[in-house]
Amino acid sequence: MVALAAVPLWWTTTSITRLSLPEGRVKALNDKQLRFSLNISLDTNIPVSVVDNVKEGLAKRILDERLDDIFSVAVSSGLTHNPQAYEVSLNEELSGIHVEGRRLITGPESIPLLTDALANLLLANFGHQDQMVMQYAPRYRLAFSLMNEDAASGDSPLSWDVKTAITRDIQPVLQKLLALHNFTIESQVQFFAPLAFEPVNLANGSFGLSQEQLTVFVNSAEWTLCSPTESTAFIIPQWGSISICNPDKQAVSRLSQRALHPSFSVFRTQLLALLGISPLPIGMTTSDVISDWQLDALLRRRAYENAKGSKETLDSIVSLVDQIEGMPVGKDVTDDVRGALDALDSMYAVARDSPQLALNYSARAFTRVSRAFFNPGMLALLYFPPEHNLAVYTPLLAPVSVPLVAAVFREVSKWRRSRRQSA
Amino acid sequence: MYPTELLLLLLAAIPYTCLASNSAERFDELLTVRPLRDGRVATRFSFIISQADAQPRAPQMISEEDIPQHYSLFPLSLGQVLREYAVTEAHLSLNAGKWDYGRWGYPDDSAVAPGAELWAWMGDSELSSIDERWKGLRNALAGLFCASIGSLDELRTTSPAYAFRPEGALPRFSTNQTHRLRYASLPSEHVCTENLTPFLKLLPCKSSAGIASLLNPHQLFDADWHGMGIHVMWSEASGVYLQLSFQAVFDPVRLSEKQKREFSFQSLFDRTISKACPVASESSVEVDLPQNAAYSITPEPSSFRDKVGVFDIKEAQRLPLNVSMRYAEMVFQYPLDPPDAQLMDFEAMRTLTGSTQSRGRLNLSIRNNRAHEIRLIYIETMPWLVTFYLHTLELTVDGRRRDDLLTRMTYTPPEAHGRPTLFEGRLTLPAASTLRLSMDVSKAFLRYTEHPPDAQRGWDLSPAVLVPLSAGNNSASLRGRRVYTPAVLVDVATPDFSMPYNVIIMSSTLIALIFGTIFNLFTRRFKEVNIDGTTEASEQDGVIS
């Protein structure tokens, strides 16, 4: 009776909340594909043969890079004045290729290079995993640090005009990137930040850092390195960049904006590289800080990466929950998964028209799906490995097994005895 | 279009540069060395970093992008935490040991509560509640200082009304801006080198130069009492003001072989000051000179100020600096009790009596050392597991009931498994007598999972806090400065934690016995036996006999 009465209590206290996940919708995602349409209109003064060439060339390039299920290209002759369209026009006096806004102006002798130029601008390493580029985040924290090895030695700069340097060199880029990220800016000065190793003394009286030393510059062996030699600056993939300031002969206690400018223009270039903005193809010029072509390419690439990441994480959540039966799935997890699915659906709907909106939706999806994946409620799973269960029940299993084992021995010896007798 | 935008930015940059040129940050450091009556030496390192033009973040703006923060002296890691949770004023202290007010007098930094103590004033906002930000602040500071402040949760958080007034000013972010206090203490926190290392990282010169180079963990954590304090406050005049302090009480008599109380930087810290911190505006060492003993101090102080010898570290010819104090005595004679003059106006002792695990009695006795009346605020915070019986509250002075000495009593009852108790009141200490306060308490029976890992040790209860309101004639001495009683340990009923396993073993044995019997019955073959004696008893053929 007591045991029966205790059953409901036992049931409620030991059951785990496992709400069902929308598995069907997650599976259906595999059939959906993010599609971007690229509308290129060429000015009427460009010969029709060139238009056809560009059309074929682009189509071939997209097919070669296996991006034909993502990009659809429409090349037309005559300017459409659609704000989303890319325009190409010819300027007889220009040599080379100039980019301005979503407009590309080519000189007459660059027309044969037009297809390649367009492909490089529009595709810009699309789909290639670049180890250097940071993972997408809607907000980045930019921290500028001035590090002195030993400020007490007397000739170290103790302050710097970082505000002006940031406003002049970094701010214009950040302004342009507002569509993708928000930035929090901060700076600090470290007066005692010694290196963990001795730099190599070079023959010409200067000091150098070897490739191995660069890897431990920030006291971590995990960061791999890609850096040009013969330079005072290097980049640490997905983390940041370092510029070594070699002060002039006379000691300065404050680094002026002029002294900081070389370092900060390096920071700007490296920041763009870390954020994944591919540089303009060689031979092209622009009057913008970052051209709309580059920005659009980055928007498409980030949207694609986020969508891919969200999809993979959703798959992992579903398979993880399937695999581990004791894993609780709360309402917040299912809400996040549904929210991510909704955002992905909206993203597929708008991707053709606006890469900007697509990125916003994909970022939302990625945030929500990451939150669901790392939900602490799911970590507190009731996981008892079989070894533990066995250990707890040993006091039961051991005495119970004694009569069983004894019985087996007796039976075996009896069987042997009877066989010997019959033989 | 773009060049104009760039031009605007350039114009906007001009006021910025003006601001940046007169750097508003300032760093001062000061080491106070105070020989104590019992032969010990109290040292206090004080590092003050102020940002004159800075203001705490307004909680109303917490959802918006913060303005860029540029620090040169102020620690970035702490600045990030304060901005993130829009904290106006915060005080964290991590101490080890019991500050002996009777022998050592009042400490230079009043935050000497045993273990960890954190209190913060934060602006109210509808956007994110104070409790959310308090939780964030706790966890962030726990990460920053490698301390278990994260466990200063709702079970330990209270808001006393009088004792923890803001030490700076509270800015008005909007017309009806209110600020609120959150206070929590964890007396069982152990302070060690892992807390000192992050503390040193907050200093502009780390432990490489200036007086901070004396902070040698091997010596500091060997001291009789040691602790650190981090105080952030704001005032209109000085802006955001950060004071980092480290206090330690050394015992040179214990360390010396000849029982002498002489000391030097080398003997106390095993280091000397060899470099001055280049960014410190003021950097000095102040040594209290003994009044009634023959002594010699080397090197000669740069200046004297009211029985204090001052050494200026910015004077390069003084370095390396190793201040040493010698006394003209062979062996240190401990002063006989009671000394002539009491250091403190009053001394408090708190105990928890009672032999059972369910009931007890809390006793507080405060001795007034002065010939005038002293009024003070008394604050008692208890985790919910200790409940007060207020009707048993008794105040006696020299054996006579004097319940009238406790006024303005406020009491926040505990919430089981949640909110702690808060008891506040105003006490009047009659001149030169001892006030005894006592009341019954009940100790709760905890849930199985609520016990700490070392359950048999008991629970450390937060110290009571006493804040003098007026001390009669020399009222300036201690007014508004907190005095902590030592923490007490409470022994609550603890279960036998091996019980579940015992139950498993017992029921398993029972089931095994039943199984064995039934198995035996099932597998045994029963045969008829003739008992007339002529035939042999049939051979048993069962499996188990």
The pLDDT tens digits along chain A (423 residues) read: 888 888 888 888 777 778 888 888 888 888 888 888 888 888 888 888 888 888 888 888 888 888 888 888 888 887 777 777 888 888 888 777 888 888 888 888 877 788 888 888 888 777 777 777 888 888 888 888 888 777 777 677 778 888 888 888 888 888 888 888 888 888 888 888 777 666 666 666 666 666 666 655 664 333 333 334 445 677 777 777 777 776 665 556 778 888 888 888 888 888 888 888 888 877 788 877 888 888 888 888 888 889 989 999 999 999 988 887 778 888 889 999 999 999 999 988 888 878 888 889 999 999 999 999 888 877 655 566 778 888 888 888 888 898 889 889 988 999 999 999 887
Question: What are B47's strand-pairing partners?
Answer: B29, B244
Domain contains B82: yes
Task: Determine the Cα–Cα distance for residues B376 and B479; give it in Å rounded to an integer.
Answer: 9
Domain contains B240: yes
Residue type, B420: P
- pLDDT on residue B162: 81
* Residue B523 with chain A: CB contacts under 8 Å: 407
Task: Find the helix or strand (DSSP H, E) in which A47 lies.
Answer: none
**C-alpha distances out from residue A389 to A322, A386, B170, B226, Å:** 22, 5, 58, 47
Confidence band of B285 (pLDDT split at 50, 70, 90)? very high
- pLDDT higher than 50, residue B350: yes
For residues B69 and B190, membership in a common domain is answered with yes
- Number of H helices and E strands in chain A, helices first, is 13, 14
- pLDDT on residue B234: 92
- pLDDT higher than 60, residue B117: yes
- Count of domains forming chain B: 4
For residues B166 and B130, membership in a common domain is answered with yes
> Stretch B61-84: mean pLDDT, rounded?
87
Beta strand B25-35 with A103-106 is unpaired
* Residue A175 with chain B: CB contacts under 8 Å: 5, 9
Task: Determine the Cα–Cα distance for residues A107 and B58; give it in Å rounded to an integer.
Answer: 55
> Stretch B298-314: mean pLDDT, rounded?
88
Please state, as a whole number, how many other Cβ atoms lie within 10 Å of the Cβ of residue A410: 15
For residues B125 and B227, membership in a common domain is answered with yes
Q: Which residue of B has its CA nearest to A400?
A: B512
Q: What percent of chain B has pLDDT over 90?
A: 42
- pLDDT on residue B545: 42
Q: Which is more confidently placed, A208 or B393?
A: B393
- pLDDT on residue A248: 61
Among A residues 271-300, those touching chain B with beta carbons less than 8 Å apart: 287-289
For residues B318 and B359, membership in a common domain is answered with no
For residues B486 and B521, membership in a common domain is answered with no
B80 in reach of chain A (CB within 8 A)? yes
- pLDDT on residue B212: 92
Nearest chain B Cα distance for residue A143, angstroms? 9
- pLDDT higher than 80, residue B372: yes
- pLDDT higher than 90, residue B173: no
Domain contains B27: no
Among B residues 248-277, those touching chain A with beta carbons less than 8 Å apart: 275-277
B497 in reach of chain A (CB within 8 A)? no
Domain contains B30: no
Question: What are B405's strand-pairing partners?
Answer: none
A163 in reach of chain B (CB within 8 A)? yes
* Residue A174 with chain B: CB contacts under 8 Å: none
For residues B92 and B202, membership in a common domain is answered with yes
Q: Which among B234, B253, B272 is the end of a domain?
A: B253
Is residue B369 within 8 A of residue B477, CB to CB? The reply is no
CB contact under 8 A, A161 and B20: yes
* Residue A188 with chain B: CB contacts under 8 Å: 70-72, 75-76
For residues B412 and B541, membership in a common domain is answered with no
CB contact under 8 A, A171 and B10: no
Task: Find the helix or strand (DSSP H, E) in which B11 lies.
Answer: helix B2-21
**Of residues A154, A168, A289, nearest to B13 (C-beta):** A168
CB contact under 8 A, B208 and A403: no
Residue type, B176: N
CB contact under 8 A, A185 and B68: yes
A380 in reach of chain B (CB within 8 A)? no
CB contact under 8 A, B72 and A159: yes
For residues B94 and B195, membership in a common domain is answered with yes
Domain contains B197: yes
Tokens linked to B88: 């106006």
The structure tokens 């704001």 sit at: B234
Domain contains B37: no
Domain contains B77: yes
Q: Which residue of B has its CA nearest to A288?
A: B2
Q: Which is more confidently placed, A159 or B422?
A: B422
- pLDDT on residue B242: 94
pTM of the model: 0.82
For residues B320 and B353, membership in a common domain is answered with no
For residues B87 and B140, membership in a common domain is answered with yes
Residues B3-34 have pLDDT tens digits of 222 222 222 222 333 333 345 889 999 999 99
Which of A195-204, B329-338, B486-495 bottoms out in mean pLDDT, i.e. has the lowest? A195-204
For residues B450 and B481, membership in a common domain is answered with yes
For residues B306 and B389, membership in a common domain is answered with no
CA nearest neighbour of A211 among A194, A187, A228: A228
Q: What percent of chain B has pLDDT over 70?
A: 90
Instruction: Look up the domain containing B275 and give its range.
Output: 261-329
